[in-house]
Amino acid sequence: MACNKTGQGIGDHIALVRDLEPGIGFLDAVSRLTDDPVVKREPLVEKPRRTRPARRPQTRADRHAGRVYLHGRGISSDTLDHAERAGFLRYTGGGVLFVGRERHAAERDPAPDPTRSR
């Protein structure tokens, strides 16, 4: 089907529709030439909000086991007491954690978590 209004060549179907209906947009003109809407919009997937990791609870048994371990490594009770009061030392899940802080005293991981997706 030729759609050039002057009869010169085949022409531009979309331009013809837009010429017949001034002000119509490109996608609307294309949809007039097809049976279905041109663009079927899919809902945008919202990225999950980034949350801070949850702290594991510190039990008395964890603290005791951690202090025994650190004493065995030559760290004095006074040093451990000071680190605990300052919030730099925690014991949890059979491990000893040093909690680093940034300039604004917010907790900070010493290195990126290799299990966290990048």
Q: pTM for the complete prediction? A: 0.43
Torsional sign, CA 21, 27, 31, 34: positive
Cα angle, residue 25 at apex, residues 23 and 26 outer, rounded to 5°: 135
> Residue-wise pLDDT tens for the chain (118 aa)?
555 566 666 778 888 888 899 999 888 888 888 877 676 677 788 888 888 777 778 889 999 999 999 999 999 999 999 999 988 888 888 788 887 766 766 655 555 555 555 4
